[in-house]
């Protein structure tokens, strides 16, 4: 059953002893109404509970079951700690005190107690009340941590292009003027020029060869 959102606007007051206890001559009907026909109870415990109630208020006996209730905090996180995982502290208190059942009625946000006597019900209500005080007065639910995005990845350092020679730097020398520099002569051209000089000298000297 969903929580009643109107209860969140009401300031919570911790219940005080003495509690208002009542005699219930139709406990099986009351419990069935709150637990969807006992379908919300564990199958194993359901049979034990029916046997207890029929022995107390059945064909051969007409003893009332004692009922008590009080309002509980509206905070879902607080209720989870009071009740325990999968109702652990409700089940533990039920076994320890000998009550029949402890149930959270979500329609009116109350804890409901059924037991065989005033003492057992009062004891169970005191034990659960101590947990209410613990988590509403002395302790508060841990705040939900906001989801934060992971830090951005560190950026790679930029390369300093001032110390890197660009391709244009290599090609910039192609446009320089070399008109004042002498022409470069290859080794083959130099050898051909020498042979021509020797031939010319031989013709002029009248056939006398002079090794220059």
> pLDDT tens-digit profile of 38-64?
999 988 889 999 999 999 987 777 899
Whether 128 shows a pLDDT value over 90: the answer reads yes
pLDDT at 77: 93
pTM: 0.62
Whether 23 shows a pLDDT value over 60: the answer reads yes
| Residue 60 or 193, more confident | 60
pLDDT at 43: 87
CA dist 152 to 88, 146, 147, 158, Å?
44, 18, 15, 17
How far, in Å, CA of 110 to CA of 87, rounded? 15
- Closest Cα to residue 122, out of 67, 176, 75, 187? 67
Share of the chain above pLDDT 70, in %: 65
Whether 82 shows a pLDDT value over 90: the answer reads yes
- Closest Cα to residue 68, out of 154, 129, 143, 9? 129
pLDDT at 62: 84
**Residue 110: its H or E element:** strand 110-115
Whether 103 shows a pLDDT value over 60: the answer reads yes
How confident is the prediction for the chain on average, in pLDDT? 78
Share of the chain above pLDDT 90, in %: 50
| Residue 90 or 7, more confident | 90
Class of domain 5-138: alpha beta
User: Domain coordinates of the chain in residue numbers?
Assistant: 5-138, 185-212
Structural contact between residues 103 and 35, judged by C-beta atoms closer than 8 angstroms: yes
HSE toward the beta carbon, residue 203, CA cutoff 13 A? 6
Whether 152 shows a pLDDT value over 70: the answer reads yes
| Residue 207 or 137, more confident | 137
| Residue 125 or 178, more confident | 125
Average pLDDT over every residue of 139-160: 68
How far, in Å, CA of 133 to CA of 82, rounded? 9
Q: Is the peptide bond before 18 cis (omega within 30 degrees of 0)?
A: yes
């Amino acid at each position: 059953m969903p929580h009643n959102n109107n209860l969140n606007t009401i300031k919570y007051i911790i219940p005080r002893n003495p509690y208002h206890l009542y005699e219930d001559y139709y406990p099986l009907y009351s419990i069935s109404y709150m637990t969807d026909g006992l379908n919300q109870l564990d199958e194993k415990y359901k049979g034990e509970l029916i046997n207890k109630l029929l022995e107390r208020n059945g064909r051969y006996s007409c003893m009332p079951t004692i009922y008590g209730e009080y309002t509980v905090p509206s905070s879902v996180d607080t209720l989870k700690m009071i009740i325990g995982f999968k109702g652990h502290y409700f089940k533990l208190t039920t076994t320890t005190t000998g009550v029949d059942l402890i149930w959270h009625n979500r329609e009116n946000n109350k804890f409901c107690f059924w037991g065989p006597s005033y003492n057992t019900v009062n004891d169970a209500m005191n034990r659960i009340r101590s947990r209410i005080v613990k988590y509403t007065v002395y302790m508060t639910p841990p705040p939900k941590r906001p989801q934060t995005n992971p830090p951005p990845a560190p950026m790679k350092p930029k390369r300093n292009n001032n110390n890197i020679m660009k391709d244009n730097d290599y090609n910039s020398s192609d446009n320089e003027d070399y008109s004042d520099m002498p022409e470069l002569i290859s080794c083959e051209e130099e050898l051909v020029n020498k042979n021509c000089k020797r031939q010319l000298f031989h013709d002029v000297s009248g056939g006398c060869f002079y090794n220059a």
